[in-house]
Amino acid sequence: MPRAPLLLMLLVTGAVTALAQIPGQPPKDGRYTKKATRTETAIATLESFGLPTLSGKWYYAGPFDNTDKIGFDKEYPPEKGVDLQAKYIGKNGQKFGWKELPRFQLGAVYDLDKLFPQDRFDGVVYLYHAFNSPVPFRFPISLGSDDSLSVFNNGARIVHEDYSRPAAPDQNSALLKVKQGKNELLIKIGQYQGGWQVYVAPDLPDYLPAKVVTAYTRDFPRSSNSSGSSTTGNEARYYSAATFPLEDDCVLEVGGLAFRPDGKLLACTRRGEIWLIENPGAEDPAAAKFTRWATGLHEALGMHVIDNNTVLVVQRPELTRISDDNGDGVADRYATICDQWGVSGDYHEYAFGPARDRKGRCYITLNVGFGGGHQAKAAWRGWCVQVDPQTGAMEKFAYGLRSPNGINASPQGDLFYADNQGEWVATNKLHHVTRGAFFGHQASLKWLKDSPFSERSDHVPSEMTYDGRKFDRRTNTVLDTVVGRPKLNAPAIWFPYGKMGQSVSEPKWDTTGGRFGPFAGQCFLGDQTRSMVMRVAMEKVNGVWQGACFPFRGGLQCGVNRLAFGPDGSLYVGQTNRGWGSVGGKPYGLQRITWTGTVPFEIHHITLTPTGFDLTFTQPVDPATVKPEAFAAKSHTYAYYSNYGCPELDQHAEPIQRVTLAADGKTVSVIGPELKPGRVYELRADGLTSTDGVPVLHPEAYYTLNELVK
């Protein structure tokens, strides 16, 4: 995704991905050891390599007080360091110390309330496990909780989630930073009412040989969300992925992807080439033919097809019309349409597009520079510009963009762009683009005085939240204050970082009329870091776009940078990772996602109601499972400030008071969450099944609430 290279991003943000392994080689005599279950296989395989497995003694201490949810953020003594000889004073003055956890089993939901039969409500318990490792490595683990969950790795808190939900396998994941020698894992479970449970399971790290991880994934397939945690079911059963083989001279670092009217596919690349792909819909991808159609471009990161012989391409410094005038299958004319934006030489000054509106006008989004000095050194960096492809005239259209990797128009003609986390951008987001809109990155304000919107030149406060309140970073509090102009436009969709990718790319709408499955008309976006595709279903409330994002298809070979729906109804996925990094193991490539014809049991879309949310599913719901404990909800907000990204702030579990199934058999009304604009609502349906007994493939959804239903 267009942003800092991966290593630089890790330094700036402290982000950790499974790809960023600590150096060190596992013992060479290890081997893949298949057992009856995924957890047993992971343990046996880790043991064969001499690596820790989380097996052995676990200890617990509790209950501490969680009345009125005080335990979620309260730092009880175990968080300051575990001493197994220590004694504590907990809930209702109880005195206790550490005890060995009886009959604890990895990979199974464990009932904690049996430890406290007289005090099972409104409590906090800590679980502790110490282990040794011969080498440093990144260790993925899966988790579940009833209710809230916090995880500490060698004293550092790496998970802090406020839930009110029943525990289930693989609801969350964590990536432990294991050091050589002794390591400590501390898990905190806060309980409200009902059950009190925990789930812990080890997983295999990418640190192991690729053939071991491949065999493990093959034998125990499961879909995964962007943070790496598993969900019930298998995405590949519903959406298969095929990979196009490439010749050595085809370095397909895809920057743009578009079909011609004749059904042939064009892919422009970051290496400055355009490749023509014939027969892309062949059942065997090896039957497709790749031909170099154009060369000599400067980091082409977007393309629009005019006809079978002509394309518009956005290079770093200009919008270019490229054509094959003599019809010999190779481009022979390159004409500059517009080069009126600036380029300073900063590596981060990418340019994306062009999206076209119904009048044929082109829209291009321009990256700001990265870090140090002013980030809009060159003219119109951080802006969306409109270009007339006939005259080349450029108009300034919107501003406040950071790393807007992808802009497109919906089938209805609404313009949207996707932006990436960074300074002034709390997490990845999707914006509805309108003339004169300001989206938050302040570097673009440098050029405001020379724009049609110069009357908005008064300075934006340096630190404020999206709901118009100032955020004090020193005390982590939000203070009421008045926000100055220009007005800050809220995103239609926030993508919670790590849970829904880390580097979002361009939006594309399913225009296949159902040939791609049950999500016709919805929006799909790739994620460059997590090598996945996400899904978005939006609605308009009081004239403002908002809605929900969902995981869709993970496990792809490389970072997803561009998408294109083909005439065969498949989704073509253009990939690259150079300088940006991605999971998946491949540096670039092209894959094709095809619906198998089997409808997955999924949340199709979410509609805001005056009392909560209506969740509509792709298949009829089993009425026996429609009960409050089958659902969970929480919410959070973000601060708007100059920091690189923002954690989820002001987290709240949202109690579910009542659920009802509509007459259509597919829509469940979830009643109870406290609805407030400016918040993101995480909704889960882990306990729901279809009438065929199938659990929800991706039970999680994230709804961005900008407007309440009037």
The secondary structure of residue 427, as a DSSP letter, is S
Beta-carbon neighbour count of residue 323 at 10 Å?
16
Strand partners for 144: 199
For residue 25, what pLDDT is reported?
Answer: 53
164 exposure class (CB count in 10 Å sphere: 0-12, 13-18, 19+): buried
Give the integer Cα–Cα distance in Å for 96 and 87: 6
Q: Which residues of 120-133 are buried (b: 16+ CB within 10 A; e: fewer)?
A: bebbbbbbbbbbeb
Separation between Cα atoms, residue 344 and residue 340, nearest integer Å: 13
Q: What is the pLDDT of residue 7?
A: 27
Q: Looking at residue 118, what is its pLDDT?
A: 82
| Whole-number Cα distances in Å, 451 to 394, 446, 457 | 11, 10, 10
Q: What pLDDT shows up at residue 678?
A: 95
What the block records as the tokens of 577 is 């990772």
pLDDT tens digits along 341-362: 999 989 899 999 999 999 999 9
Distance CA 671, CA 659 (A): 6
Give Cβ neighbours of residue 114 (< 8 Å, ≥ 6 apart).
Answer: none
Tell me the pLDDT tens digit for each residue of 587-634: 999 999 999 999 999 999 999 999 999 999 999 999 999 999 999 999
Q: Give 661-700 as a 3 state SS string.
A: ECCCCCEEEEECCCCCCCEEEEEECCCCEECCCCECCCCE
- Tell me the C-alpha distance between 643 and 649, whole Å: 14
What's the Cα-to-Cα distance from 343 to each of 313, 402, 690, rounded to whole Å?
A: 17, 15, 54
pLDDT at 187: 98
Identify the structural domains of the chain with CATH numbers, from first to last: 9-220 (2.60.120.380), 251-339 (2.40.10.500), 603-705 (2.60.40.1220)
Residues of the chain with pLDDT under 70: 1-28, 221-233, 372-373, 455-485
CA-CA distance, 683 to 148, in Å (whole number)? 14
Distance CA 187, CA 137 (A): 20
Q: Phi and psi at residue 211, in whole multiples of 5°? A: -65, -30
pLDDT at 373: 62
d(C-alpha 613, C-alpha 657), whole Å: 12
The SS3 assignment for 621 reads strand
Cα angle 359, 364, 368; round to 5: 160
Q: Alpha-carbon distance 196 to 127, whole Å? A: 13
State the pTM of this model: 0.75
The pLDDT score that the predictor gives to residue 524 is 98
